[in-house]
Amino acid sequence: MSGTWIALLGFGGMLVLIAMRLHVGIAMFVTGCLGYVYLSSTSALLGFLKTNAYNLFATYTLSVIPLFILMGALAEQTGLSNALFRAAAASIGQVRGGLAMAVITACTAFGAICGSSVATTATFGRAALPELLRHKYHDGFATGTIAVGGTLGILIPPSVILVIYAITVEQNIAKLFMAAFVPGLLATLFYFGTIYLIVRRRPDLAPPGPARQKGDRRRHLKTVWPAVLVAILVVGGIYGGIFTPTEGAAVGTIALLVIGLAQRTLGWAALRTSILNTASTTAMIFVILMGSEIFNAFLALSRMPMQAAEYITSLGMPPYGILAAMLALYILLGAVMDELAMILLTLPVFFPIVSALDFGMQPDDLAIWFGILLLIVVGIGLTAPPIGLNVFVISAIAKSVPIARTYRGVLPFIAADIVRLVLVLLFPGLALGLVHLLT
């Protein structure tokens, strides 16, 4: 059998295993090992595994992942997410739909500290949802808004998924963070617009919130300054080239630790919870990375990605057509698949194809632009039915709200996301402008 067929067989087998409830990472690991042995030899596999896991875990650029996750966990445990939401609610909560906009505002700020959408959704599910429901917000609108707001955790840099993309395609993480900035803020604006349009059509969904009280602003400023300071320090430091993303994550983590200890908002129990949450999320990501490492080694042996790229480019279709088809496929895949696994599985095949297309831009720019397009698509996949991880997270917190109602609440925002995707597709400058300006 030729390598391409073996690779396709491997893909199929792996998907069947995943559908039968095997862990995503282990499914990649098992099929990758079998394919590797078939195309090479058992002794070659054993040699590969001798140091692979250690070398992977000891990759300097990957050390940013546990640190960013720890930073987000500390921010939640020290009550910063609560403070952000309360401050945002106090300043814009009194208008119709204002509390939903406050969720988006707080998620945006929190997204600059936290690199994970699941963590952001879970955090605001606990911090904001009870408030929204107390003020008689429609439950599906409230959970939908929080599920969408959670995606800002990855849309606003730092972003774990962008780190993984950057490492996979050998791009500069800091540049990808810069490129994500404007599209991320656009997401915030678009979500604001969506909320505005929704409550104009259906005022019953979102009654006005509590009136602002005198002195509120100063009181809240006192509670949110650590979050703002850390966000500016980390994101600004990385953008300004003052430190590498790993250093930024370390600075943010230590800053939150020190602030938490000094303000007595972080005790031993909270620190222990932060660490255990970090442990489980980090390990989940690294098990998938370990599996994808061996699966990709198998794919490389099969030479299938190269042949697929050659085949697609030989068809002579217009580059934008291929790219649009690819993004549409990603939206479909993202609706039924875990986003991290989707990226790690498809990039070895898709990235060579994209690199071979001619958009009249530098290879680095193309890689960065494609990464941002992918990030938007991943954000859609995190909330889109039937399988949106963020929706599952919020459903686990709000057990009384039927999941179908949350999905209905999410739909208008997905429309806004697709508009944003098309905008960034038509105007690459939205992503690349800041990169060129800062470097």
Partner 1 sequence: MDETIPTASPEPQRAPSMIERAARILAVFGGVVALAVAGVVVVSVVRRWLLSAPIPGDFELAQVGTAVAVFAFLPYCQIVRGNIVVDTFTAHLPVRFRHRIDGVWDLVYAAAMALVAGCLARGTWDMLASHEVSMVLRIPVWPGVAFGAVTCAFLAIVALSTAWSLLRTRP
Site string for partner 1, 2-41 (x = CB under 8 A): ----------------xxxxxxxxx--xx--x--------
**Cβ partners under 8 Å of residue 1, min gap 6:** 9
d(CA 100, CA 328) in angstroms, rounded, equals 29
Helix (H) or strand (E) run with residue 342 in it: helix 339-356
> Is 378 one of the binding residues for partner 1 (CB under 8 A)?
no
d(CA 433, CA 439) in angstroms, rounded, equals 10
CB 83 → partner 1: shortest distance, Å? 20
> Is 262 one of the binding residues for partner 1 (CB under 8 A)?
no
* CA dihedral of 390, 394, 400, 402, whole degrees rounded to 10: -10
Identify the residue among 341, 345, 373, 380 touching partner 1 (CB under 8 A): 341
Q: What is the per-residue DSSP string for 86-121?
A: HHHHHHHTTSTTHHHHHHHHHHHHHHTT---HHHHH
> Is 389 one of the binding residues for partner 1 (CB under 8 A)?
yes
- Output the six-digit token pair for 218: 């100063």
Which amino acid, residue 255? Answer: A
> Is 78 one of the binding residues for partner 1 (CB under 8 A)?
no
Number of CB atoms found within 10 A of residue 269's CB: 9
Number of CB atoms found within 10 A of residue 84's CB: 30
Which stretch in 45-53, 198-206, 224-232, 410-418 sits in contact with partner 1 by CB under 8 A?
Answer: 45-53
Which stretch in 46-54, 147-155, 344-352, 358-366 sits in contact with partner 1 by CB under 8 A?
Answer: 46-54
Instruction: For the segment 99-118, give every residue that binds partner 1 (CB under 8 A).
Output: 118
> Is 163 one of the binding residues for partner 1 (CB under 8 A)?
no
Identify the residue among 54, 201, 269, 358 touching partner 1 (CB under 8 A): 54
> Is 380 one of the binding residues for partner 1 (CB under 8 A)?
no
Which amino acid, residue 225? Answer: W
In the bound state with partner 1, the residue whose beta carbon lies nearer, of 215 and 386, is: 386
Identify the residue among 37, 185, 229, 257 touching partner 1 (CB under 8 A): 257
CA distances from 44 to 102, 127, 301 (A): 55, 51, 12
d(CA 200, CA 112) in angstroms, rounded, equals 30
DSSP E strands in 131-208: the ranges are none
Instruction: For the segment 273-332, give every residue that binds partner 1 (CB under 8 A).
Output: 274-284, 286-288, 290
> Is 362 one of the binding residues for partner 1 (CB under 8 A)?
no
State the residues that interact with partner 1 by CB under 8 A. 18-26, 29-30, 33, 46, 49-51, 53-54, 57-60, 62-63, 66-67, 70, 118, 122, 243, 246-247, 249-251, 253-254, 257, 272, 274-284, 286-288, 290, 336-338, 340-341, 386-387, 389, 392-393, 396
